[in-house]
Chains A and B, each alone.
Chain A
Amino acid sequence: RKEVEQDPGPFNVPEGATVAFNCTYSNSASQSFFWYRQDCRKEPKLLMSVYSSGNEDGRFTAQLNRASQYISLLIRDSKLSDSATYLCVVDTGGFKTIFGAGTRLFVKA
């Protein structure tokens, strides 16, 4: 079992749709969780950190479920510019940061 697993997609959604991604992790001692966005042939960039109580940033909502060991990302009112690969990142401490392989999202007009 991979340490961090994501559905690779691709998710193809129309503009204005709501889309959700899940990511599961295997290490119950994991400490910090993030969602990064990576555009084609570009570097990853932080989208949002994921706090225990969940957090929202505009159209984006992140949730953490420690009991079931997954985090989720919800994107509301999808824009064309949201098309990218979304990376789930789990930090287990001690410089052991595990990146998921990413979920590809295509938003079409």
Chain B
Amino acid sequence: NAGVTQTPKFRILKIGQSMTLQCAQDMNHNYMYWYRQDPGMGLKLIYYSVGAGITDKGEVPNGYNVSRSTTEDFPLRLELAAPSQTSVYFCASSYGQGLNSPLHFGNGTRLTVT
């Protein structure tokens, strides 16, 4: 049981390049999320999904896209990388919502856009 697996761990992009951050979970969780964490700030929700085929925007979705073709996978796509997207990205999953459904996070992806 690996939990939530994210790849890659680190990446450096040039402005305008694109990339996909991969996220997979093996806990059969319906809910999956992408967050970004900037220094000195709380995690911000980028996109979330409540099940295969269903995605929705979070607080900071601009510049990103997601898809959820299976319960297990939730990739995050950056189409035209910008320096403002330099951050640490965390994928997370949960069984549901509320006190008994905490978030389970992946190890994170450190992205630098130069």
Contact = CB atoms under 8 A, between A and B. Distances in A.
B102 interface: yes
Contacts of B99: 32-34, 49-51
Contacts of A99: 35, 42-44
A95 B102 contact: no
Assign chain A's interface to a size class: 20 to 34
The DSSP consensus for interface residues of chain A is: strand
Contacts of B90: 43-44
A91 B107 contact: no
A100 B105 contact: no
Given A43-B105, A95-B45, A95-B58, A49 B40 contact: no
B48 interface: yes
B56 interface: yes
Nearest to A95: B48
Assign chain B's interface to a size class: 20 to 34
B19 to A, nearest CB: 20
Interface string A67-109: 0000000000000000000010001010101111110000000
A101 B40 contact: yes
19 contacts: A32-B97, A32-B98, A42-B107, A43-B105, A43-B107, A43-B108, A44-B90, A44-B105, A45-B105, A46-B103, A50-B99, A95-B45, A95-B58, A95-B97, A97-B103, A98-B42, A99-B43, A99-B44, A100-B42
Interface of B: 35, 40-45, 48, 56, 58, 90, 97-100, 102-103, 105-108
